Amino acid sequence: MRRTGPPSGRPPPRNREGSAVTATTELPTRKDEAWRYSAVEKLRAGDLDTVRQIDVAVGDSAREVLLVGDENSGEKEIHRLKVNVGENARFEIFGVIASADYARLEVEVTLARGAHFELGGITVGGRDTVREFVTRVVHAEPEGTSNQTVRSVHWGQGTGSFLGSIDVVRHAQKTDAAQDFKGLLLEKGATVNAVPQLEIFADDVKCAHGATVGQLDESARFY
């Protein structure tokens, strides 16, 4: 794993309230904290220039399904989405990353009042592969909800990562946000990582994250 920090001498951007903010379009994505990337050297500047914009209108719903499977077995595959979810609207994305030497799904979501975001993700892989989900969810208005569930199964020298940020602005009361990550290591050389980041300025919220990583013992592998 490679650990990176912010460029020296460069202060983080600030929001209207004077708090530091960051975006997934930059490396690293967190202000003064180290923010781990499984293989940051595989990301070139051009990879971060292509972003697909999705706008979900007030009261509407939208769903995206992404499969990086055997037919996409190139060296690198990166998908970047920037999503605005309108008032009382819903956006769901479900992704399976099971191929490419380096594969990454990056999602930045901004939620209006009463909006909901749902992420379901799976990373699978062996050899010396890296598969990761990187998310930033901004609860910009009250009563928004979000739920992120990621599962990783890896073997060989494979790496699976979930790097998730939840930002709740000061007036976004009644926010309900959750992250859940579970990883399974089939061999000793594999790695799975969960890096949750919660930045909460409101006081009437429910925000939770959980992460569990385990290995199969020899008897379980036999059966």
The answer, yes or no, to whether residue 216 has pLDDT greater than 90, is: no
Residue 181 contacts residue 153 (beta carbons within 8 Å):
no
Report whether pLDDT(35) > 80.
Answer: no
Q: Is the overall model pTM greater than 0.85, yes or no?
A: no
Q: Where in the chain are the domains? A: 51-214
Output the pLDDT for position 40: 56
How do residues 77-118 score in pLDDT, each as one tens digit?
899 999 999 999 999 999 999 988 899 999 999 999 999 999
Counting Cα atoms < 13 Å in the Cβ hemisphere of 180 gives 7
CA–CA distance, 205 with 196 (Å, rounded to integer): 17
Lowest mean pLDDT among 6-20, 98-112, 113-127: 6-20
Mean pLDDT of the chain: 81
Q: Is the pLDDT of residue 34 over 70?
A: no
